[in-house]
Amino acid sequence: MTLPPFRPPQDRPAWQRLQALAAQGVPHLRQLLGVPDPARDAALQWEAAGLRLDARRQAVTPAVLDALLALAEDSGVRAQAEAQRRGEPINATEGRAALHVALRGGDWAEPPWGPTVAAQVRHELDRFLAAAERIRNGEWRGHSGERITDVVNIGIGGSDLGPRMAVQALDAYTHPEVQVHFVSNPDAWSLHSVLRRLRPASTLFVVQSKTFTTQETMTLAASARRWLADHGLVDAAQQAPHLIAVTASPQVSAAQGYAPAHTFGFWDWVGGRYSVWSAIGLPLAVAIGAEHFRAFLAGGHAMDRHFWDAPAARNLPLMLALLGVWNRNFLGCPTHLIAAYAGRLFHFARFLQQLDMESNGKSTHVDGQAAQVGTGPIVWGGLGIEGQHAYFQLLHQGQHRVPVDFIGVDAEDTPLPLAEEHHRVVNLNLQAQADALALGRDAADTAARLQAEGLSPERAHALAPHRTFRGNVPSNTLWLPALTPHTLGALVALYEHKVFCQAALWGVHAYDQWGVELGKTMAQAMEHASAAPLPTTR
């Protein structure tokens, strides 16, 4: 691999410079935002693939921004991005590439990952999109000849979170006669609560597992097949029209009775949390159709091209990553909140939790040495409006400093007479919360306001500590022009590249997940132990 020798982050000159700047202290956001500064405003706003990022409420100065850009250079982020794009085995602990960007295709004269991978991707994309269209137009029929009206996705982790998030986000584009459902938890009620409303004759199961041995998924799949059998679909031929397998191990699914014609594949270089672009996205393709799925891919590819081509200071994913490192490592903020102000992005924070925390939740550098700096933050969140009436109290007056990514949508397309008024209220709250968290309100201002409301000076000063807000909470505001397949694709790719950049900055491997594998291995060992005969006594 053509990468420079690894140096721990704390040994890089730019990291040490950032430590010195943090020790000197950064002015409060009231000061940074209180005086018009066109140069700062321009340096902290970016646009790419139709998305706009406003980072003016980040607690950074020009000196901090310069040092962050120097850190990206010191860390070899660009060289690592190029190695990934070429398909080099940057997933070093597993000895394979992390080439999910190839799934998004694009109009390349010569694809960086080579013609063989490009041809394989196109072939499988055409196959599963054709299947999705057959399901949508009623051509795919169950054993009794009924059209499929319900598709149940069975998978966990990346085989669930990405497709589930995207189907919900693009609900405005879904087919009116085909409903897509998701089951990931092997808890029996999770499956029953879906199946009790469905008819076997018109139900199709999509079973998703890279190895086709995932315990949770196989447990659910066995129960789904038993449900079919209990309703008269007993043998393999009867069940075949009601079962689809999506896997990187087609020989294993075939041995379990899944028809090869109903099996769609992907490759070992597709990580689960990066797999929605592959056949794992089949439920999304069923929901929104082939044309819109290709638009989703195109949005991701547009962000890829920006990431690879834009200079560092105007590179939206890189700058998002650098600001996150500043907050995590130099301002002492171990958590990061995702606050979406669009109801259809209900599952987006959960999706990002896996993308970020499974990638960068590491304590070992790429050279095998223990990390001496903080790595991936705790990512959490949900819908911002709901959070305002729950955990935002802690953001404003608690003892934690929690950076926020606010995500908003410019245009409203809901077919309700008062939809624009709803939208105005939602976006007004987004902007108000971002300002309130940044600026806060000091004790003197609070006391003066209380006296203006008619309280005595004594009462006003007594209440002021309880109604004072420290502010100085850093945030980004990310705007989508509309929530479309293209913009959602760009949004997902933006965060993928951000996570990659942060892994490069921290010097960790983003594409393995040995902590997840440990839990699976121990569960399997316990299962085997419980099945073993008890020892005899003499």
What are the beta bridge partners of residue 91? 96
Question: Is 133 labeled as catalytic in the residue annotation?
Answer: no
Catalytically annotated residue among 210, 292, 336, 358: 358
- Are the C-beta atoms of 284 and 272 separated by less than 8 Å? no
Token pair, residue 445, equals: 């201002």
Per DSSP bridges, beta strands 404-409 and 475-480 are: parallel
Question: Is 498 labeled as catalytic in the residue annotation?
Answer: no
- Are the C-beta atoms of 446 and 483 separated by less than 8 Å? no
Please tell me the class of the 114-288 domain. Answer: alpha beta
Q: CA-to-CA distance for 216 and 214, rounded, in angstroms?
A: 6
Alpha helices in 137-206 (DSSP H): 158-169, 188-195
Q: Encode the chain (538 residues) as per-residue pLDDT tens digits.
A: 456 789 999 999 999 999 999 999 999 999 999 999 999 999 999 999 999 999 999 999 999 999 999 999 999 999 999 999 999 999 999 999 999 999 999 888 899 999 999 999 999 999 999 999 999 999 999 999 999 999 999 999 999 999 999 999 999 999 999 999 999 999 999 999 999 999 999 999 999 999 999 999 999 999 999 999 999 999 999 999 999 999 999 999 999 999 999 999 999 999 999 999 999 999 999 999 999 999 999 999 999 999 999 999 999 999 999 999 999 999 999 999 999 999 999 999 999 999 999 999 999 999 999 999 999 999 999 999 999 999 999 999 999 999 999 999 999 999 999 999 999 999 999 999 999 999 999 999 999 999 999 999 999 999 999 999 999 999 999 999 999 999 999 999 999 999 999 999 999 999 999 998 888 778 778 877 776 554 444 3
Q: What angle do CA 102, 106, 109 make, to 5 degrees?
A: 100
Query: Hunting for tokens 């960068």 — which residue is that?
Result: 360
Q: CA-to-CA distance for 60 and 68, rounded, in angstroms?
A: 10
Q: CA-to-CA distance for 322 and 71, rounded, in angstroms?
A: 8
- Are the C-beta atoms of 13 and 74 separated by less than 8 Å? yes
What global pTM score does this model have?
0.95
Domain spans in the chain, listed from the N-terminal domain onward: 9-91+301-439+473-512, 114-288
In the chain, how many H helices and how many E strands? 23, 11
The domain made up of 9-91+301-439+473-512 has a fold known as Rossmann fold (3.40.50)
CB atoms within 10 A of CB 17: 18
Q: Do domains 9-91+301-439+473-512 and 114-288 have the same CATH topology?
A: yes
Catalytically annotated residue among 110, 389, 453, 466: 389
Question: Is 520 labeled as catalytic in the residue annotation?
Answer: yes
